[in-house]
Amino acid sequence: MNSLIDKYNIPGPRYTSYPTVPYWDEQNFTSEQWQHTVIRSFAESNAEEGISIYIHLPFCENLCTFCACHKRITKRHSVETPYIESVLNEWKLYLELFKKSAIQKPKLKELHLGGGTPTFFSVENLRYLLEGLFETVEIADTPEFSFEGHPNNTSYQHLKTLYDLGFRRVSFGVQDYNEKVQKAINRVQPFENVSRVTNWAREIGYQSISHDLVFGLPHQTWEGMEHTIRKTLELKPDRLAFYSYAHVPWVKGVGQRGFDEEDLPSGEEKRKLYEKGKKLLEELGYIEIGMDHFSLPTDDLYQSQISGRLHRNFMGYTTGKTQLMIGLGMSAISDSWYAFAQNEKSVEEYQQRVAKGELPVFRGHILNQEDLFIRRHILNLMCQLETEIEPDEVPDYLLTSLPRLVELQNDGLVNFTENNIKITEKGRAFTRNVAMVFDLRMLRKQPETRIFSMTV
């Protein structure tokens, strides 16, 4: 396994989209085209499957020094109200666009509050935001509403209010329970806090409770990781995200410089943390889903994998696909299936653009036919670990990638036939490497600087 790690542990995308953000063709993107694809996608999909909304709530009181999310650190809660007003105003701009299709009211199927820290916001402000949104939509019969809660500041009232507003899924950031690791990442968070919010969520009736763990953090050892997993399992979350630590200090600046490079486990040590962690989780009844995720067989995530409904987008894995996902808030990314668009990455610029009555997108990508083809296969690999290609649709570039596939097969990571590529159990850890074989935009032009985290 070690030589495989040496060979395949290279910088690579996590494929929450194809093309990946650094390969977006920003020159040929305009807000008008974006709006056009939104209207088209809305008209095509709203009546049947409904739409998804992602709301980015960026504020956190303290900086965790490992964090790669788009956030703004502040203790001033006066930022809440103007931010929420901007989000509601941005939403109104989309409502105006929807009116250009024959359908008037959006059907809301999926809603996710992410961050930053959604529970930085007061219960009253969250209620104001959500009630403002809900009065403009029809809620689907089986809505899927979820949010990210920080164990240190999620209150019983947060959980109860969001439950009453229809939320049934919550994920809590745990990362690691060892004091030395917590200090290095500037996130001191005792087990009692996680236990308290998990028990409240269960008592209130949440159907799916998830914990985020991260492997590869500074000072992590297997003994410590085992301790974290065993403590986690005392609370039996329905799902677990087991993320590989993405060390991207060149993107996030000082935030990740709270520890030294030598405090990080080596590539090989990191892979062992994952392998052993996975084994332990499986012994304890969890099933690995796609990449980075584990679920109990009773959870919807597992059910959606078996039924082939599992989908992946900027929110990570989701239990179903909607064609149109609108991302609201600073840095949020939207997906109309035919195009992607990202909002301004600073709170101020985001708010200024919305105040001017403009959709606050600053870059994006319009997908061509080739992108749509590749996107479909990369999605299949990331969700089902397998994809079927009709022999007459195999593009030329894939034929030139054949030696890479043969190599992956010789290493036991994939099996392929004329019209099928399947990732093996051994290859699961290298899913990103397999997807890269399809990534035409990256094959054409390798990045000139480090832009992706390591694949393993």
Ligand X SMILES: C[S@@+](CC[C@H](N)C(=O)[O-])C[C@H]1O[C@@H](n2cnc3c(N)ncnc32)[C@H](O)[C@@H]1O
Using CB under 6 A as the binding rule, whether residue 212 contacts ligand X is answered as yes
Question: How far from the centroid of its chain's Cα atoms is residue 330's Cα?
Answer: 16
Tokens of 291: 């990449």
Which two tokens mark 322? 């909607």
Strands of the 386-388 sheet, one edge to the other: 386-388, 420-423, 414-416
- For 349, the token pair is 């610029």
Tell me which of 126, 209, 214, 408 binds ligand X, using CB under 6 A: 214
Q: Is 13 in the site for ligand X (CB under 6 A)?
A: no
Stretch binding ligand X (CB under 6 A), from 38-46, 61-69, 95-103, 418-426? 61-69
Please report where in the chains the tokens 């059910």 appear, as a residue: 303
Q: Please, what is the end-to-end C-alpha distance for the chain in angstroms? A: 12
176 touches ligand X by CB under 6 A: no
Which of the residues 369 through 408 are near ligand X (CB under 6 A)?
none
3-class state of residue 348 by DSSP: helix
Q: Does 19 bind ligand X (CB under 6 A)?
A: no
Applying CB under 6 A, among 38, 51, 57, 67 the residue interacting with ligand X is 67
Minimum CB separation from ligand SF4 for residue 61, in Å?
8
Cβ-based nearer residue to ligand X, 66 or 416: 66
| Of 51 and 64, CB closest to ligand SF4 | 64
Task: State yes or no: residue 58 binds ligand X (CB under 6 A).
Answer: no
Q: Which one of ligand X, ligand SF4, none is in contact with 85 (Cβ closer than 5 to 8 A by kind)?
A: none
Least separation, in Å, of the C-beta of 175 and ligand X? Answer: 6
- Residue 355 has phi, psi (to 5 degrees) of -60, -30
What distance in Å separates the CA atoms of residue 297 and residue 285, rounded to the nearest whole number?
8
Q: Which range, of 33-41, 112-120, 319-327, 404-412, touches ligand X by CB under 6 A?
A: 112-120
Q: Does 245 bind ligand X (CB under 6 A)?
A: yes
Site for ligand X in 133-172 (CB under 6 A): 148, 150
Least gap, CB of 214 to ligand X (angstroms)? 5
Name the site residues for ligand SF4 (rule: CB under 6 A).
Answer: 60, 63-64, 67, 69, 71, 115-117, 150, 173
Residue with smaller CB distance to ligand SF4, 63 or 88: 63
Q: Name the binder of 200 from ligand SF4, ligand X, none, CB < 5-8 A by kind.
A: none
Selected binder of ligand X within 43, 69, 123, 296 (CB under 6 A): 69
Cβ atoms of 235 and 194 within 8 Å: the answer is yes
Classify 16 in phi/psi space as left (phi over 0), alpha (psi -120 to 50) or beta. alpha
C-alpha distance from residue 70 to each of 60, 117, 145, 379, 383 (Å): 10, 10, 21, 24, 25
243 forms part of the interface with ligand X (CB under 6 A):
yes
Helix (H) / strand (E) containing 173: strand 169-175
Q: What is the DSSP letter of 245?
A: P
| Closest separation in Å from C-beta 66 to ligand SF4 | 7
Q: Is the four-CA dihedral 275, 277, 278, 284 of positive or negative sign?
A: positive
For 17, which DSSP code?
A: S
Positions touching ligand X (CB under 6 A) are: 60, 66-69, 114-117, 148, 150, 173, 175, 212, 214, 243, 245-246
